[in-house]
Amino acid sequence: MDSAVFGYIRVSQAEGEGGLNTQRRILNGYGLRDDRIFTDIASGRTMRRPSWKQLQDRLHPGDVVVVPRLDRLARNLSEGLRTVEELHGRGIRIRSLAESLDTGDDSPTARLMLHLLLSLAEWERDTIRDRIRAGVDRAAAEGRTGGRKPAVEGQRLKDLEAYLATGATVAAAARNFRVSRPVARAVKNGTYPGQS
């Protein structure tokens, strides 16, 4: 059986789908067609991902999996190393374009680079998580519960309520108070956060 080359891209839920387009373009530039690229929107902390599982089931000895960066494969040192070892045992290589790393290179330097890059990916994930947690804690200490700042609040909210009570339309209220129609409609219906 001839060896095949597949691509794998991943973003987390927090990153959203925009990053997938950039990663796909990188792999397309490498020569991979879209039908050879497997995509997940999932955390890099675990390898339990639907498209990754489909790709693993399709791989045969001699195949190569290309990723734009190693952290797209894994952001967990132990999971990443276990995955690379399992694939290596099956005769399958991972090639990371950004780091010019190929797991088929079994040299001590290549193994060191693999460990370092996966360690850095895990460190970055943990650092991001800690920053988010610190931001949430800081907001809670300041009495904020997260989410966007209200579009209208305080006296301005009372003025908008009074304006709508005169029979003004939602469209007119939105235009005059420079808020969206859904905000004006919620205020009119008495369902906007902060209304008493």
**Catalytic one of 3, 12, 43, 78:** 12
Task: Calculate helix-pair angle for 77-89, 108-141, nearest 10 degrees.
Answer: 150
Q: Residue 74: how many CB atoms within 10 A of its CB?
A: 27
The residue type at 26: I
**H or E element that contains 11:** strand 5-11
Residue bearing tokens 């800690």: 130
**What distances in angstroms separate CA 124 from CA 2, 138, 190, one per listed residue?**
37, 21, 44
Residue pair 157/163 in contact by the 8 Å Cβ criterion: no
Sign of CA pseudo-dihedral 175, 176, 178, 179:
negative
Residue 51: active-site member? no
In this structure, what token pair is assigned to residue 33?
């067609």
What gap in Å lies between CA 177 and CA 173, rounded to an integer? 6
What gap in Å lies between CA 58 and CA 42, rounded to an integer? 20
What positions carry a catalytic annotation?
12
